[in-house]
Amino acid sequence: MERLAVNPWDWSVKLGYHQAEVIEGARCQVMCAGQTAVDGTGAPQHMGDMRGQIGLALDNLEAVLAGAGMGLGDIVRLGIFATDVDAALQHFDLLGRRFGAVDNRPPMTLLGVTRLAVPGLMFEIEATAMQ
């Protein structure tokens, strides 16, 4: 699979993502449901702690990808939903560390929402991955 970054401007690269990617030759695509800060039984964790919720949501995303034989480096698109965008952005270093470690800057969208499906959860991340 080949990935070609499309960045008419460089400001998004400085923030850790590409404006778009052209993907050719993919043989497998995985679409992950939104992952949140829940434990193995689905019980919400880290109530009131945005950083904790982002970290666990990323852990859960990695676990889902691993179950499909993929990892963060295979992600080609992210959708992020937060009940407090400013609080989420204060902790985006967590995404930078995880995606930087695998040298991946997938296109992403961050949306502010009034609430998520489970009360008390503040952060949700969905992904599309390809190999």
Q: pTM for the full model?
A: 0.90
CB 105, CB 17: distance < 8 Å: yes
- Section 112-121 average pLDDT: 97
Q: Pick the closest to residue 58 from 45, 21, 69 (CA basis).
A: 45
Sign of the dihedral through C-alpha 71, 81, 31, 24: negative
- Section 11-27 average pLDDT: 90
- Section 1-7 average pLDDT: 91
72 sits in which H/E element: none
For residue 121, what pLDDT is reported? 98
CB 64, CB 32: distance < 8 Å: yes
- Tell me the pLDDT of the chain averaged across its residues: 95
Scan for tokens 């995606």, then name that residue: 99
CB 17, CB 109: distance < 8 Å: no
pLDDT band at 84 (very low <50, low <70, confident <90, very high): very high
DSSP character string of 9-71: SSHHHHHT--SEEEEES---EEEEEEE-SB-TTS-B-STT-HHHHHHHHHHHHHHHHHHTT--
For residue 41, what pLDDT is reported? 94
Q: What is the dotted CATH code of the domain comprising 28-130?
A: 3.30.1330.40
pLDDT in tens, 31-80: 999 999 999 999 999 999 999 999 999 999 999 999 999 999 999 999 99
